[in-house]
Amino acid sequence: MESKPQAPIRAVVFDAYGTLFDVYSIGVLAEQLFPGKGDALTRMWRERQIDYTRLRTLSNRYEPFDVVTRDALRWTADALQVALSTEAEQALMQRYAQLSAHADALEVLRALKGMGMRLAILTNGTPAMLKALVEHAGMGGVFERVLSVDTVRQYKTAAAAYQLAPDAFGLPAKQMLFVSSNGWDACGATWFGYTTIWINRSGLPAERLGVSPDATGKSLQEVVRFLTGRT
**Would you call 35 exposed, middle or buried from its count of C-beta atoms within 10 A (0-12, 13-18, 19+)?**
exposed
The C-alpha atoms of residue 9 and residue 20 are separated, in whole angstroms, by 20
Inter-residue contact 70 to 186 (CB < 8 Å): no
The C-alpha atoms of residue 228 and residue 10 are separated, in whole angstroms, by 13
In the set 15, 22, 150, 214, the catalytic residue is: 15
* CB-based contacts of 85, cutoff 8 Å, min separation 6: none
The C-alpha atoms of residue 138 and residue 157 are separated, in whole angstroms, by 28
Is position 214 annotated as part of the catalytic site?
no
The 10 Å Cβ neighbour count of residue 215 is 22
Cα distances from 101 to residues 115, 133, 166, 194, 210, in angstroms, run 22, 8, 25, 24, 31
**Radius of gyration of the CA atoms of the chain, in A:** 17
DSSP 220: T
Burial 75-87 (b: 16+ CB within 10 A, else e): bbbeeeebebeee
Catalytic residues: 15
